[in-house]
Structure 1
Amino acid sequence: MSLGITLTAFGGLHAYIAVRLFVDPQWPAPWSVLGPVLVALLFVSLPVGMFMSRREPTPVTRALQWIAFIWLGAFGIFLSAVVAADLISLVLQGAGVVHDALALARGKAVAVLAVTLPAVVYAFVTARGRARVERVTVPVAGLGAGLHGLKVVQISDIHIGPTLDGRWLRRVVEQVNALKPDIVAVTGDLVDGDVESLRDEVKPLAELRAALGVFYVTGNHEYYHGGPAWAAEVARLRLTVLQNEHRVVERDGARLTVAGVTDYNAGNIHPAHASRPDVALAGAPDGVPRLLLAHQPRTALSVAHAGVPVDLQLSGHTHGGQVFPFMFFVKLQQPVISGLATIAGVRVYTHRGTGYWGPPLRLGPAPEIAELTLVTVE
């Protein structure tokens, strides 16, 4: 879809919101004028903010980016509320419950604003707050007694960039380290920017601590900003980068294969980085349970197609939908939205994301740090 078509569509939807909230209710001046003007300015903020993201950061450009990102998410919430209010009003009018069209229009506008404004504030506080620790116990067949109770802590979709920085990342690292993990898994979409711009912001990753290792795989967003360069930078921070490869960890005589693949779509940008579960697990020891790190849940389909056994896949990418109502559209691209599920015979844990992409808002799915405890099957 071209930029012109996208802006035209967004402009039309903004006009729809302005009409329903400020024109139809026939508010007295100055609200009847200020309301539509405000909606128009918020629409303009979207292309302006995106353009400013390519300029040298200054207090002005950062402020414009923040406004654009917040409105990008708030727009979806407002639009959903206005559509819902219109549908409800049609039902009420059709049933003959309401006869005063002006009173209905004003009541509808007040109801939309009363619901959406607090929702946007709540979504902002949730997105910027501390990640929720989700604790899940996963039975694994063949897991040796020495690894019973193995604690894997997963973070994903961190998206260090325009509105998330190194101070925020350090708080996440402190939360992870406080859980005393045996393994830390970082499952992609670490950044929204290139290495040169964000090198200092991702430094706290070097402070992650885990008894058996800290492992990282790329997400699709790394490949928008130089995937191979980011893999090298993360390796420089002394994380183990798994690019279609595996390692075997051991404790008290029990072993676990930890494998990782590049992002599902990486091969479209860097053919040499095509995601290959079969290559990642080639030569892995037989009879040893297998943990696979793969950014997108649908990698499980590739795993099943390749016929390579995997006991548990850790993924992210979906953000759990991030902002209502977008979680209902995730299923158009991914087989699962969040949580533990089985996809084509492969058990997959899909992480809701520790950070956020774009809008600093989370309405519904809270940010997550997953603590997965692997236990032997009785």
Structure 2
Amino acid sequence: MALVLVLVALSAVAAVAAANWYLWRRLFRDTTRGPGWVRRAGAAVVAGGWALAVGALVAERAGAPFRLQKVLAWPGFLWLALVLYLFLAVLATEPLRPLLRRLLTRRQVASPEAVATVAPPDVPRPVDALRPVDTPQRPVPAPAPAASRRLFLSRALAAAAATAAVGTVGYGTYGVLRGPRVKRVTVPLAKLPRPAHGYRIAVVSDIHLGPVLGRDFTQKVVDTVNATQPDLIAVVGDLVDGSVADLGPAAAPLARLRARHGAYFVTGNHEYFSGADQWVAEVRRLGLRPLQNARAELPAFDLAGVNDLQGEHEGEGPDFGRALGDRDPARACVLLAHQPVLIHEAVRHGVDLQLSGHTHGGQLWPGALPAAAANPTVAGLERYGDTQLYVTRGAGAWGPPTRVGAPSDITVVELASLRA
């Protein structure tokens, strides 16, 4: 098993190295003539970008000084997004290369200057025969060599790919930093009593406070949630990427969350990378109620919460028996669980609605494809038997503060009674 993991890791490193060599070749080698400082600078940019990215990841997980994390995070994480879209953009130009090359060649052959050079220089053309011998001849331009055409084409395609990649990452980063938008979804529940028709739950997930997203971002989230005037707030995990000591001030605005029936919290996998027990105590201090394999009996339905699967490594994994074992099955039940994969346990325990996050909707296109392979639902509302699952794309971002094709959201889930 260990050998398999080593081979997989080596294959991944080889694939990344090959992809980056390909990028360097298309963006720097093919756009210059001969060895020179541009090619060396390109190699330094690619190598330096990856050094910053690896440094940012290692510093975050190793608990390096928070100032160092902040210095490395912005350039390092943005490089990960940029190199992805540089690779995709350059790859997209490959089918254009032979087509444009043939087009340039045809235009060169069809030009008057090119036609004029078809006849041998020592054979006078009919027009030339009518001129006096001493009439000076206009020099005929030589056709551009194939090498010059290739260089021009490489530079044009490299510029187009770089522009597309920078524009994509820039817009995706702006979308995260401006704050999440509100999404509204209506979910009918058969067991919901009529007086609870229209009950609103603000679902917030994956804020990912850390060296990039800090206190100002938290305040945007709080203001957006409070503006929806929800009856209840559900924070379904991955609140932070770091310790309470470093990120306590960034999380402080959560104390201003307001809802008629309060705010509730369940752990995500990243809480267990950041000191879950400390963060549970901190969110409780801020006024949120943690549901650690526990249940709150609200007037209209049961609200339950389970720990994240990552907690199993610390003996604190999800326990559906504790959270739901002795409840009244005639009452509607809403479950808070960070990861969508817990839906199958929720179905077995008669849950009516599970609210989750974790996937980020893929965050960076085409990330939804691997996310779909690992999760039953990537984003949105789906039904599994008698249980419905809603997955929010999340409010923030992990790693690159960038989203492409998966805009951030805070979802207001409005419960509908079938008896209304």
Superposition TM-score, scaled by structure 1 size: 0.89
Aligned with residue 317 of structure 1, among 352, 358, 381: 358
Partner SS, residue 201 of structure 1: helix
Query: 2:69·2:211 contact (CA, 8 Å) conserved in 1?
Result: no
Q: Which residue of 1 aligns with 2:198?
A: 149
Residue of structure 1 equivalent to 2:83: 75
Change (3 A) 1:141 1:51: closer
* CA distance in 2: counterparts of 1:55 and 1:263, whole angstroms: 25
Q: Does 1:86 align with 2:86?
A: no
| Aligned residue number for residue 170 of structure 1 | 219
**Partners of 1:228 and 1:63 in 2: how far apart?**
28
1:133/1:105 CA distance change after superposition, 3 Å: same
Other structure's SS at 2:249 match? coil
Higher Cα Rg, which structure = 2
Alignment of 1:267-282 (within 5 A): 267=312, 269-271=313-315, 273-282=316-325
**Residue in 2 aligned with 1:346?**
387
- Spell out the pairing of 1:114-129 with structure 2 (5 A cutoff): 114-129=163-178
Match for 2:314: what amino acid?
Answer: H
Contact kept in structure 1, 2:352 and 2:388, CA below 8 Å: yes
Task: Provide the C-alpha distance between the structure 2 equivalents of 1:290 and 1:52, rounded to a whole number of angstroms.
Answer: 41
Match of 1:257 among 291, 302, 314: 302
Q: Which residue of 1 aligns with 2:291?
A: 242
Contact 1:249 1:256 in 2 (8 A): yes
Contact 1:195 1:229 in 2 (8 A): yes
Q: Which residue number corresponds to residue 293 of structure 1? A: 336
Comparing 34-43 with 119-128, greater Cα deviation is found at: 34-43
Q: Is the CA contact (8 Å cut-off) linking 1:127 and 1:367 kept in structure 2?
A: yes
Q: Percent identity?
A: 34
Alignment check: 8 A CA contact 1:138 1:375 kept? yes
User: 1:362 is matched with which residue?
Assistant: 403
* SS of residue matched to 1:199: helix
Aligned residue pairs total: 367
Unaligned runs of 5+ in 1: none
The answer to whether structure 1 residue 215 and structure 2 residue 221 are counterparts is no
CA distance in 1, matches of 2:248, 2:72: 23
> Which shows bigger deviation, 232-241 or 154-163?
232-241
What's the CA shift for 1:106? Answer: 3.1
Q: Deviations for 1:68-110, whole angstroms, at most 9, x for unmatched residues?
A: 01111222121222222235547x48x9767665454333312
Q: Does 2:159 match 1:159?
A: no
- Report deviation, 1:113: 1.3
What RMSD in Å do the two structures reach over aligned CA positions? 2.4
**Whole-angstrom distance in 2 between the partners of 1:158 and 1:102:** 46
Distance 2:195 2:376 in 1: 34
Q: Measured at CA, do residues 221 and 344 of structure 1 come closer, stay the same or move farther in structure 2, by a change above 3 Å?
A: farther
Do 2:329 and 2:350's aligned partners in 1 also have CA atoms closer than 8 Å? no
- Find the residue that maps to 2:49 and give its secondary structure: helix
Alignment-derived partner of residue 115 in structure 2: none
Tell me if the contact between 1:300 and 1:344 (Cα under 8 Å) persists in the aligned partners: no
1:125-159 deviation per Cα after TM superposition (whole angstroms, max 9, x unaligned): 01111211001111111211211110110110011
Are the aligned partners of 2:179 and 2:217 in contact in 1 as well (CA < 8 Å)?
no
Kindly tell me: are residues 23 and 220 of structure 1, through their superposed partners in 2, closer, same or farther at Cα, counting changes over 3 Å? same
Query: Which residue does 2:73 correspond to in 1?
Result: 65
Aligned equivalents of 1:323 and 1:345: distance in 2? 32
SS, match of residue 175 in structure 2:
helix
Off by >6 Å, runs of 4+ in structure 1: 95-99
Amino acid at match of 1:45: L
1:243 and 1:334 map into 2 onto residues whose CA distance is 22
Q: Does 1:133 align with 2:182?
A: yes
TM-score under structure 2 normalisation?
A: 0.81
Q: 1:224 to 1:48 in 2, by over 3 A?
A: closer
- Choose between structure 1 and 2: higher helix proportion: 2
What secondary structure is seen at the aligned counterpart in 2 of 1:283?
A: coil
1:361 Cα shift? 0.8
Out of 362, 376, 388, the position equivalent to 1:335 is 376
Asked if 2 retains the 8 angstrom alpha-carbon contact of 1:246 and 1:260, the reply is: yes
The residue that corresponds to 1:39 in the other structure is 46
Q: Is the contact made by 1:301 and 1:344 (CA closer than 8 Å) also made in structure 2? A: no
- Per-residue CA distance 1:323-343 (angstroms, 9 max, x = gap): 112122101211111111124
- CA offset digits 1:165-207 (Å, max 9, x no partner): 1221022111111111101000000110122222222121121
**2: CA distance between counterparts of 1:164 and 1:15?**
32
Deviation of the 1:233 alpha carbon: 1.9
Secondary structure in 1 aligned to 2:202? strand
2:179, 2:395 within 8 Å by CA — same for their partners in 1?
A: no
In terms of mean alpha carbon deviation, does 20-29 or 350-359 score higher?
A: 20-29
User: Could you tell which deviates more after superposition, 238-247 or 290-299?
Assistant: 238-247
What is the rounded CA distance, in whole Å, between the counterparts of 2:30 and 2:294 in structure 1?
60
SS in 2 for 1:65: helix
Q: Deviations over 1:112-134 (max 9, x none)?
A: 11211111110110111121100
Structure 2 Cα separation of the partners of residues 185 and 82 of structure 1? 42
Q: Which letter does structure 2 place at the counterpart of 1:375?
A: A
- Following the alignment from structure 1 to structure 2, what is the Cα–Cα distance between the partners of residues 177 and 151? 12
